[in-house]
Copies of this chain bind each other. A is one copy, B any other.
Amino acid sequence: MSPLDQLMNILGKLPGLGPRSARRMVLHLLKRREGLMLPLVEALQNAAMNVKTCNICGNLGGSDPCEVCSDQRRDRSLICVVEDVADLWALERSHAFRGLYHVLGGTLSALEGIRPADLRIDQLLDRLRGGEVKEVILALNATVEGQTTAHYVAEKLEETGVSLSKLAHGLPVGGELDYLDDGTLTAALKARR
């Protein structure tokens, strides 16, 4: 395979890229070899070598423990459980949460063969044994897989005695009723205050 085809082939495997966008990207890069292509190579190598998975919460970052876990100003009595690192980052961007996190690393899925042992559930139980944590927030996606996983984790945590909560369902801020699905409308009505 030519170096061009090889590169387009690999780029086409990235999420959200098809053959057409991979071609476009390759041409864009080859026109800017010094200014963009080589800096990209360096940034990829640097990230591949230096980005670490936090052994406590599962976050990705330049250090282990990660910036969140090692920040002494955060509320250590509160752990927010998320599916993926992307969800953790989304919560961090919102600045709405000042506790710690725990990344499960996916959701239970019989179809894809993901069992409880494949997720970081035991590590979560270990973290609760210290007794410092008072509340666990299950911030899993509102999908079937997310809710199944939340249910399983909730059962597992029952014996530890920490209080459990879930994210509220409802109308997105700035959202219009007309565009909402029935499930969200029903949930928003039930949880009215």
Contact = CB atoms under 8 A, between A and B. Distances in A.
Interface of A: 2-4, 6-7, 9-11, 13-16, 21, 23-30, 33, 36-41, 43-48, 50-51, 60-62, 84-86, 89
Which of A13, A33, A44, A46 has the most C-beta atoms of chain B within 10 angstroms of its own C-beta? A44
B61 A4 contact: yes
A3 B51 contact: yes
Nearest to A84: B27
Interface of chain A, main secondary structure: helix
Given A13-B36, A14-B36, 9 more contacts: A4-B61, A4-B62, A6-B46, A11-B40, A15-B24, A29-B44, A30-B47, A30-B60, A41-B44
Given A4-B60, A15-B28, A24-B15, A48 B38 contact: yes
A33 B25 CA distance: 21
A113 B76 CA distance: 58
Given A61-B2, A61-B4, A37 B44 contact: yes
Contact of A14 (B4, B29, B44, B50): B29
